[in-house]
Amino acid sequence: MQTIQAVKKAKNGDLIAVYSDDSGSKRDIPTWVKRNGHKLISVNEKEGFIEFLIEV
């Protein structure tokens, strides 16, 4: 998953934007973020995709 690779390369405090057109990501990404000790800054539903902003 590209999100995991981006988080591994990031430094504490970095922000990562994740874009997904998978409706399951609305549940899965927030769960993954919390489980891995990161912070979900925002979830924005756009036309055709969902944008997640994650603080590492």
Which pLDDT tens digit goes with each residue over 36-55? 999 999 999 999 999 999 99
What CATH number is given for 2-55 in this structure?
3.30.110.40
pLDDT confidence of residue 28: 96
Find all residues with CB under 8 Å of 41, minimum gap 6, and list them. 15, 53, 54, 55
Which residue's entry shows tokens 């924005």?
44
Q: If you compute the radius of gyration of the chain from its CA atoms, what whole number of angstroms results?
A: 11
In the chain, the amino acid numbered 30 is P
pLDDT confidence of residue 46: 94
pLDDT confidence of residue 35: 97
pLDDT confidence of residue 1: 72
When pLDDT is averaged across residues 6-31 and rounded to a whole number, the result is 95
Say how far apart CA 42 and CA 29 lie, in whole Å: 11
Average pLDDT, the chain: 95
